[in-house]
């Protein structure tokens, strides 16, 4: 599987869940879990889609195990964090460690993504498709 395809597919699924969550809040008139909904949409839709664009633009990286693993970690940690944040804001303080651990995992995964971005030319040893300077 390509990291870009995984990113795009997961982003679309997560935004649908996020939109459903938003609609449920609007219908019920209870917006207490909106921080979880916002985290899901920002990290699950926006960030994943942008990562997918990056990987699509760098085909030599797109099929690497590190890229696919990076995307999977992002997906799982985003879902856990969004649920944890939503639970915390709905008065379930026991979910705080869940949200905190997932937040740290997302931060670590962003460090991995940054490493991939900055080391992309050295990681695969092939041109990125960009013109030489």
**Distance separating the N- and C-terminal Cα atoms of the chain:** 32
122: confidence class by pLDDT, cuts 50, 70, 90: confident
pTM for this entry: 0.87
CA dist 8 and 106 (Å) reads 18
Q: In Å, how far are 11, 25, 32 from 100, measured between CA atoms?
A: 22, 24, 19
Q: Is residue 131 one of the residues assigned to a domain?
A: no
- Residue pair 64/123 in contact (Cβ under 8 Å)? The answer is yes
The pLDDT of 84-113, averaged and rounded, is 96
Q: Is residue 116 part of a domain?
A: yes
23 falls within a domain? yes
Q: Count up the domains in the chain and report the number.
A: 1
Inside any domain, residue 130:
no
Give percent above pLDDT 70 in the chain.
92
In a domain, 129, yes or no: no
Would you say 105 and 73 are in contact if contact means Cβ atoms under 8 Å apart? yes
Mean pLDDT across 12-28: 96
Q: How confident is the model at residue 132 (pLDDT cuts 50, 70, 90)?
A: very low
In terms of residues, how long is the chain? 133
- Domain range enclosing 19: 3-124
- Does the residue 50 lie in any domain? yes
The rounded distance, in Å, linking the Cα atoms of 133 and 123 is 19
Q: For residue 132, is it within any domain?
A: no
């Amino acid at each position: 599987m390509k990291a870009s395809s995984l990113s795009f597919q997961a982003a679309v699924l997560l935004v649908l869940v996020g939109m459903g969550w938003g609609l449920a809040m609007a219908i019920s008139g209870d917006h207490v879990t909106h921080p979880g909904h916002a985290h899901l949409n920002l990290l699950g839709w926006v960030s994943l889609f942008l990562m997918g664009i990056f990987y699509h633009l760098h085909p030599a990286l797109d099929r690497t195990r590190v890229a696919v693993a990076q995307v999977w970690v992002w997906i799982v940690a985003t879902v856990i964090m969004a649920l944890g944040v939503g639970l915390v804001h709905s008065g379930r303080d026991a979910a705080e460690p869940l949200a905190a651990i997932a937040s740290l995992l997302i931060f670590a995964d962003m460090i991995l993504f940054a490493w991939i971005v900055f080391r992309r030319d050295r990681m695969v040893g092939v041109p990125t498709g960009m013109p030489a300077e």
